[in-house]
Amino acid sequence: METEIDTPPIGLDGGVRHERTAGGEFELRIDRIDLIEGGGYAILDYKAGEPRKPRWEGEHVREPQLLAYLLAERGRNVQALANVSLTRNRARFIGHSSRRGLLPDVTGLNPGKVPAELIESTWQAEVERWLSGLHRLGAEYIAGHAPVQPAPDVCRLCHLTTLCRRMELAAATAGRDDDHE
């Protein structure tokens, strides 16, 4: 692999973890947790295929896997979360971090927008927003609300379009909207 973190991984128990949130229990297995030079930890999840940055906009959470790991590791000082894509004989890191330089290719909070003395508190506030969104998403799932909501870019590359009912459901919803006018 061309890119690898130069810090030793922190060993995990390797077993399945159980995390309770939003009235449900979820099973988790974290791929890797690394100790970051200068303090803190990075949670990493290995992926095959093309990398994509986790989509967490405040409390609106898509792709909750890394956040579920963060919740399970809330006792650690986690400073970075990333998917590590293993393709074309190299590792590519895509994610979020408190500061630039913690993980290869992960930019971190912008020091031009966040004063250095506020980076830690800004990171912790963002983490709390993400975890609040994860809790809301978990509660919705437990309550049975789990609609199929693929991102448009996912559908564009999907090879299962003949089996998918997304377009059919969108047309039915549009028809109901027309009936109410």
State residue 12's pLDDT score: 47
Q: Is the Cβ–Cβ distance between 64 and 134 less than 8 Å?
A: yes
pLDDT beyond 50 at 143: yes
User: Which residues lie closer than 8 Å to 106 by C-beta, 6 or more apart?
Assistant: 80, 82, 93, 94, 95, 96, 97, 100
Q: How far is CA 38 from the centre of its chain?
A: 24
| Per-residue confidence band for 172, with pLDDT thresholds at 50, 70 and 90 | low
Radius of gyration of the chain (CA): 19
Q: Is the Cβ–Cβ distance between 176 and 169 less than 8 Å?
A: no
Q: In whole angstroms, what is the distance from residue 102 CA to residue 79 CA?
A: 8
Q: What is the pLDDT of residues 75-113, one digit of tens each?
A: 889 999 999 988 878 888 999 999 988 999 898 888 778
Q: What is the pLDDT of residues 8-64, one digit of tens each?
A: 555 444 446 778 877 778 888 888 888 888 889 999 988 887 767 788 876 778 888
Report phi then psi at 166, rounded to 5.
-60, -45
Domain ranges in the chain? 9-146, 148-181
Looking at residues 131-155, what average pLDDT do you find?
80
